[in-house]
Amino acid sequence: MINASFAQDCPACSRKLHVRVAYLGRRVTCQHCQAEFIAAESSSHLMQPAFLRDSLVQRADDLLRRLEIQAEYA
Ligand SMILES: [Zn+2]
């Protein structure tokens, strides 16, 4: 099941790529044009809703910023 892959169009060259499910949400490189993009399957139940993922990233950013501020005053 880990070896499953899905098709995704490269956002740079629009060619169809086969991306392993294990790389979902990670930075991958197009084998045709070497463009880097985040692997995301648009039409699958496997994918997290974008708003949920964005809010998690936002929360991580806020936390990091807070830690930086604390470090300055430490
Ligand atoms: Zn490409």
> What local confidence, expressed as pLDDT, does residue 70 receive?
73
Pair 39, 16 in one domain: yes
Ligand 1 center to 36 CA (angstroms): 8
Is 32 found in the same domain as 50?
Answer: no
pLDDT at 56 (0 to 100): 72
- Both 50 and 60 in one domain: the answer is yes
Q: Are residues 39 and 49 in the same domain?
A: no
67 compared with 19, residue with greater pLDDT: 19
Could you tell me the pTM of the whole model? 0.50
Residue 30 in contact with residue 37, Cβ under 8 Å? yes
The tens digit of pLDDT for each residue in 10-47 reads 999 999 999 998 999 999 999 999 999 999 876 544 45
CA distance 46 to 7: 13
Ligand 1 centre distance from Cα of residue 69 (Å): 39
Q: Which two tokens stand for residue 45?
A: 């139940």
Q: Are residues 58 and 39 in the same domain?
A: no
Domain count of the chain?
A: 2
pLDDT, greater one: 28 or 59 = 28
> Do residues 7 and 24 share a domain?
yes
